[in-house]
């Protein structure tokens, strides 16, 4: 079993035995990778700590014949402490990204570009004004979906193909179908079908953020109430398109968080 190295971030961990656990990483060299952390639950472990929300330099044994390898060592490269104003919100958005990556990424498929984008997201969340967090997260969410092949149709009617400029105006809501995968023009809407209504302003925010960089998103303001509707649409979209569980825990927490002053 060869010894390998890669930079990575921790997505999720499960207790494996009294002393060990199974850890899921997103790594730069190997994509999503499942590794056994032998003795990692023991306080006597001499290996470096596996910290969440951090860039880690991982050394591990990996076998092509087995579904997982095991960790040999780890070193901390960069820690995102989220200590600025709005810590709870920063943690919630970062947790949501880790959950989405855990659920959506295929195993052992190298995606270095996406990995670097995730690191940029964590660095951005650690530093930006808390009022920018909803826009930054939605921008990331949209880019992640597109990168993995789940591209919501926002610029055109998902059924008829008409450009949104032909049927969106400032007076009416924009109709979004999670099941069909995008916005639906009035002629293409069907009685009894489930839709999410986006305000025209909220929709234009969503359309802008679909093509924005994280730096551009950091200078953009989306209210928490508007963000909640957008996240509801995107959360239901990804559950339909990627066949995910009925609820995403991190997105549910974000919905609760917006109702408190902690995220305001």
- In tens, the pLDDT along 20-46 reads 889 999 999 999 999 998 876 565 555
Give me 80's structure tokens: 């995102």
Give the pLDDT band of residue 263 (cuts 50, 70, 90). Answer: very low
Q: CATH number of the domain at 3-79, out of 3.40.50.300, 1.20.140.10, 2.40.50.140, 3.90.230.10?
A: 2.40.50.140
Q: Residue written as tokens 């901390």?
A: 76
pLDDT of residue 261: 44
Secondary-structure breakdown of the chain: helix, strand, coil percentages, each rounded to the nearest 5? 40, 20, 40
Could you tell me what percent of the chain has a pLDDT over 70? 89
pLDDT of residue 262: 42
**Residue boundaries of the structural domains of the chain:** 3-79, 87-263
Could you tell me what percent of the chain has a pLDDT over 90? 71
Superfamily of domain 87-263 in CATH is: Recombination protein O, C-terminal domain (1.20.1440.120)
β-strand 69-79 against 31-37: which pairing, if any? parallel
SS3 73: strand
Return mean pLDDT, the chain: 89
Give the pLDDT band of residue 258 (cuts 50, 70, 90). Answer: low
More confident residue, 13 or 65: 13
SS3 263: helix
Tally of helices (H runs) and strands (E runs) in the chain:
7, 8
Give the pLDDT band of residue 63 (cuts 50, 70, 90). Answer: confident
**pLDDT of 68 over the 90 cut:** no
């Amino acid at each position: 079993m060869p010894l390998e190295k890669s930079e990575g971030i921790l997505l999720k961990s499960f207790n494996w035995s009294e002393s060990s656990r199974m850890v899921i990483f997103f790594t730069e060299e190997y994509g999503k990778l499942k590794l056994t952390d032998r003795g990692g639950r023991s306080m006597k472990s001499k290996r470096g700590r596996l910290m969440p929300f951090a860039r880690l330099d991982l050394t591990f044994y990996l076998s092509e014949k087995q579904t997982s390898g095991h960790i040999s060592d780890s070193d901390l490269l960069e820690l995102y402490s989220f200590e600025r104003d709005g810590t709870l919100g920063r943690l919630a958005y970062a947790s949501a990204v880790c959950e989405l990556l855990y659920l959506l990424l295929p195993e052992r498929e190298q995606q270095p570009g996406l990995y670097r984008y995730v690191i940029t997201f964590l660095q951005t969340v650690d530093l930006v004004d808390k009022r920018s967090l909803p826009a930054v997260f939605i921008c990331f969410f949209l880019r992640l979906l597109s990168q993995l092949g789940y591209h919501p149709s926002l610029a055109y009617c998902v059924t008829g193909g008409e450009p949104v400029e032909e049927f969106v105006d400032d007076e009416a809501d924009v109709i979004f179908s999670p099941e069909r995968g995008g916005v639906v023009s009035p002629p293409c809407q069907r009685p009894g079908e489930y839709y999410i209504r986006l305000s025209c302003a909220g929709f234009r925010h969503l359309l802008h953020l679909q093509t924005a960089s994280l730096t551009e998103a950091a200078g953009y303001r989306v209210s928490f109430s508007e963000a909640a509707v957008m996240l509801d649409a995107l959360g239901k979209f990804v559950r339909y398109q990627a066949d995910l569980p009925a609820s995403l825990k991190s997105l549910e927490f974000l919905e609760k968080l917006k109702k408190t002053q902690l995220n305001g």
